[in-house]
Amino acid sequence: MRARGPAPTRYNLIRSKRRLGRVERGTDLLRRKRQALVGELFRLARAAVDARAGVEKGAEAFYPALLRALAVHGGDGLEAAGWPPRDIEVEILTARTWGIGIAEIIDRSPILRSLPARGTAPALTGPAAAEAAGRLEVLIELLLDAASREMLIRRLGHALAHTSRQLNTLELRVAPELGEQIARTRRILEEREREEHARVKHLMRDRSTTRQRRPTPLAGLP
């Protein structure tokens, strides 16, 4: 059965050693990258958990207020009170960390508004709709604050999983296979050297024996 891998030559042995060196350097780099990603995830985890808890509290406060406003004004009444819609502008800063593209919201247009800023008459709108609008604006603000952290943690998590798979592949498959190739090539080359040495010794011994057995010519004979 033919052995796997390149032919057992000195050139391939040198190539395998160089490739194993690159694999070891890549393994070290991936290990440091994984440690950095884990540290970054732990650093952001508490802030992300607090932001998510804030979103949950904001949602718990908004939905009862929305139900009360729907009970008073109905869906059509709330839609008319919310007209015209407005755009929320955000400024996003993009960067890269360990080759991972990230985005962070660094500025945005104001979310919370007063009753006059909403352009609705308090007497016609009523307290239920005003409370629902205020709770919704608070919830939107919390969601925008949590969005960049959530996206960053998600991308870091994907990058950490991908890095761990790459590291496991190099450590558990590529490096052992290269080590086995190097050991096999060395063993075959050493066996060839021993066989060559034994063959040279055998040839030298045969040549020495032939010289000793060669007949000596008699003196005086032509």
- Which tokens go with 150? 């959530």
Q: How many CA atoms lie within 13 A of 187 on its CB side?
A: 6
Q: In the predicted model, is pLDDT for residue 218 greater than 60?
A: no
CA distance 9 to 182: 10
**What is the structure's pLDDT at 1?**
40
When pLDDT is averaged across residues 12-39 and rounded to a whole number, the result is 91
Query: Locate tokens 């694999």: which residue?
Result: 23
129 contacts 81 by C-beta, under 8 angstroms: yes
Query: What is the per-residue pLDDT across 38-50, written as a single tens digit (0 to 9) for each?
Result: 988 888 888 888 8
Summarised one tens digit per residue, pLDDT across range 139-173 is: 988 888 888 788 888 888 888 999 999 999 999 99
Q: Which of 50, 49, 58 is nearest to 142 (CA)?
A: 58
Q: What are phi and psi of 94, to 5 degrees?
A: -105, 145
- Report DSSP letters for 154-174, one per residue: HHHHHHHHHHHHHHHHIIIII
Report cis status (omega within 30 of 0) of the bond before 84: yes
pTM of the model: 0.64
- Token pair 């007949």: residue: 215
Residue pLDDT, tens place only, 85-121: 778 888 887 777 667 777 777 778 888 887 777 767 6
